Amino acid sequence: MIPKLDHYKEKWHVKSDDVIKPGLEAIEEALSLVGNPEQTLRVVHLAGTNGKGSTLTFLEAIAQEHGLRVGKFMSPCIVDVHDQIQIAGHPITEAEMDRAFQQMQQAELSEKLTDFELLTVAAFLHFVNEHVDIALIEAGMGGLLDSTNVVTPIVSMIPSIALEHTKFLGDTLAHIARHKAGIIKRSRPVIIGDLPDEAKRIVDDEAARKNANVLALGQHFTVKSTADGECYTNVVQQFQIAKLTRSMKGTHQANNMALAITAFFEVASVLDVSTSEVAIRQAVQRATILGRFEEIMPCVILDGAHNPASAEKLVETIQCEFPNERITFVIGILADKDVQQILRLFEQVSDNFYFVDFDNPRAMTAQQMLTLSNAASKAVLVDYVPFLQAQSLSQQRTIVSGSLYLLTAVRNRLKE
């Protein structure tokens, strides 16, 4: 369920299905009925298990710092449906969403699509309506059969590949990689992060089959820590950008930054934009993302680590940022995730856990998580708001994690 999407569906009498139906036939038909807006957009397409949102955020900041009007489509939402479709960092307004839904109503799209497919069409229409220079499109799930995979991008990006959504994508890295590699388009470059060997072979094979140039982290471009920041090196084009400093914490964010810089040079070449080292430095310094090691109040941090790969990165960041500090976790996880493995990873840096229920039909109950936990100190927490406020006041380092849906609920409650 996408918060507030039903408001527009009911207002404009456009019905869609809230189940997941992988495949492109329905959205291709729908897009043809609204004039194929996706064909007129300049696009960067991202798929991958982790790092998509952060890489997209770095790329958005760099493009905006160079004066480009940037649209982005991402999921899931942070607050509600509006923040999944943004231009220049601003969520789509109600009037703008009304315009897209009116176009879809007039094209008679009712009952033709799933919720996510409908939102994908709305995003493409909005970006064309508002004349963006570049659209950054994040795949919702997988890649090959994802509704976003109707674009022909300037460049495709795959920051990482790990096991996820195994019910839909398959239960091996090879199966997952085939779905992610599905976003590679003929004769269009693909930029990849540090992928497992098995996954990289499949991506390389698909790229070769489509005559797509592969630019790989650690091979064609690198990023290294230096005394005065970080240094990005493009091995292919033989240039460096030194003194890069990030606001986004964690060593893994250096890789996401490097991916974004590499992608921007591809974009700039196609759009005939002059690149500026100063603009890139300013952009990576100001780039931030909600729910990625986000300190929402003193000592209380939100991080949407929702699978083992992202949990491992969160643990590394905690060890780097807060060595020898006592950490308290407040956890809520979807039942279809690898809950036991996520908890084992978090237990490497903490023995103090509180488990919470949150409003999502896929959520594991707090009591079930408590049973799975091996922590020395563990409890079910009924109302997390006064607890988090007290933790902040007493300067007790607390991490809220496990699901982006939980983070949304926590942020909304704390704002109230």
pLDDT of residue 292: 86
Beta bridge partners, 295, equal 301
> Is 294-415 in CATH node 3.90.190.20?
yes
Report the 10 Å Cβ neighbour count for 333.
29
User: Whole-angstrom Cα distance, residue 327 to residue 397?
Assistant: 5
The DSSP call for residue 334 is: B
* pLDDT tens digit sequence for 103-124: 999 999 999 999 999 999 999 9
Higher pLDDT residue, 269 or 290?
269
Asked if omega into 386 is within 30° of 0 (cis), the reply is: no
| Angle 57-182-273 from CA coordinates, rounded to 5° | 40
* 36, two tokens: 């194929």
| Residue among 132, 123, 81 nearest 100 (CA) | 123
178 has pLDDT over 70: yes
Burial class (CB in 10 A: 0-12, 13-18, 19+), 21: middle
User: Which residues lie closer than 8 Å to 330 by C-beta, 6 or more apart?
Assistant: 354, 355, 356, 381, 384, 387, 388, 398, 399, 400, 401
Spacing of C-alpha 415 from chain mean position? 23
Closest CA to 37 of 148, 175, 194, 164: 148
Side chain identity, residue 235:
V
Q: Are the CB atoms for 370 and 274 separated by under 8 Å?
A: no
Q: Among 77-81, 86-90, 333-337, which is the least confidently predicted range? A: 77-81
Q: Which residue type does 86 have? A: Q
Q: How far apart are CA 390 and CA 48, in angstroms?
A: 37
Each domain of the chain, given as residue ranges in start order, spans: 5-286, 294-415
Confidence of residue 166 (pLDDT cuts 50, 70, 90): low
* Structure confidence by residue, pLDDT tens digits, 378-416: 999 999 999 999 999 999 999 999 998 899 899 989 887
1-5, 100-104, 128-132: which range is least confident on average?
1-5
Residue 156: predicted pLDDT: 98
**The pLDDT of residue 186:** 98
Q: Alpha-carbon Rg of the chain, whole angstroms?
A: 21
pLDDT of residue 315: 97
Average pLDDT, the chain: 95
In 236-347 the beta strands, taken as DSSP E runs, fall at 239-244, 294-297, 300-303, 328-331
Range in 57-66, 166-175, 277-286, 307-316 the model is least confident about: 166-175
Phi-psi region of 226 (alpha: psi -120 to 50; beta: other; left: phi over 0): beta
With cut-offs at 50, 70 and 90, classify the pLDDT of residue 46: very high
Q: Could you tell me whether strands 85-87 and 70-73 are parallel, antiparallel, or unpaired per DSSP bridges?
A: antiparallel
**Phi, psi dihedral angles at 364 (to 5 degrees):** -75, 145
The pTM score is 0.88
User: What does the pLDDT read at residue 76?
Assistant: 81
For residues 362-374, give the mean pLDDT. Answer: 96
pLDDT band at 165 (very low <50, low <70, confident <90, very high): low
Beta strands in 54-166 (DSSP E): 70-73, 85-87, 90-91, 134-138, 155-158
* pLDDT for residue 169: 77
Q: How confident is the model at residue 232 (pLDDT cuts 50, 70, 90)?
A: very high
5-286: CATH architecture? 3-Layer(aba) Sandwich (3.40)
Sign, CA torsion 130/134/140/144: positive
* Phi and psi at residue 356, to the nearest 5°: -130, 150
Two structure tokens written together for 246: 């990030």
Task: Find, among 31, 18, 3, 8, the residue nearest to 147 by Cα.
Answer: 31
Residue 416 pairs with which residues in a beta bridge?
Answer: none
pLDDT of residue 105: 98
Q: Which helix (H) or strand (E) holds 120?
A: helix 115-129
- The packing angle between helices 252-271 and 52-65, to 10°, is 50
The mean per-residue pLDDT over the stretch 332-360 comes to 95
